[in-house]
Amino acid sequence: MFGGVNPKQMQGMMKKMGISQEQLPVKRVVFEMDDGNLVIEEPGVMKIKMQGQTSYQVTGEAVEEELSSFSDEDVNMVIEKTGKEKEEVVKALEESDGDIAEAIMSLKG
């Protein structure tokens, strides 16, 4: 990047310009969005302070998580009421857009 400049010299130059960096021990980063989450497990996160502003640089492999309209408790309740397998219950809840009563009726019918 800056050929011939060793990392210690680079840190010194950055410090003189009022720029500081700090590696953070982060285990997981989640970006919550309207249509799901973007999750980075074991990311590299650098905290950078420059001219009174703090920013964060995140690197790593991102995986998309879709948001569901029902919770694990909903799944367990439908399993309890119908005696069906989890996969079948999840499918019924997805088809009913998370409507528990509708899922139960479809599984019993």
Task: Convert the pLDDT of each residue in 50-101 to its tens digit.
Answer: 999 999 999 999 999 877 778 899 999 999 999 999 999 999 999 998 999 9
Which residue range is the domain that position 81 belongs to? 72-108
Beta bridge partners of 55: 48
> Domain check: are 29 and 60 in the same one?
yes
Pick from 51, 54, 52: which is nearest to 22 by CA?
54
Question: In degrees to the nearest 10, what's the CA dihedral of 92, 76, 33, 62?
Answer: -100
We report the CATH number of the domain holding residue 89 as 1.10.8
State residue 1's pLDDT score. Answer: 53
We report the CATH number of the domain holding residue 37 as 2.20.70.30
> Domain check: are 35 and 62 in the same one?
yes
In a domain, 1, yes or no: no
From CA 81, how far away is CA 108, in angstroms rounded?
Answer: 9
Structural domain total, the chain: 2
Query: Residue 3 pLDDT > 70, yes or no?
Result: no
Residues 6 or more apart whose Cβ sits within 8 Å of residue 5: 13
In a domain, 101, yes or no: yes
DSSP 101: H
> Domain check: are 32 and 52 in the same one?
yes
From CA 20, how far away is CA 44, in angstroms rounded?
Answer: 16
In a domain, 50, yes or no: yes
In a domain, 2, yes or no: no
Backbone angles phi, psi at 96, to 5 degrees: -100, 15
In a domain, 11, yes or no: yes
List the structure tokens of 74: 């909903």
> Domain check: are 87 and 62 in the same one?
no
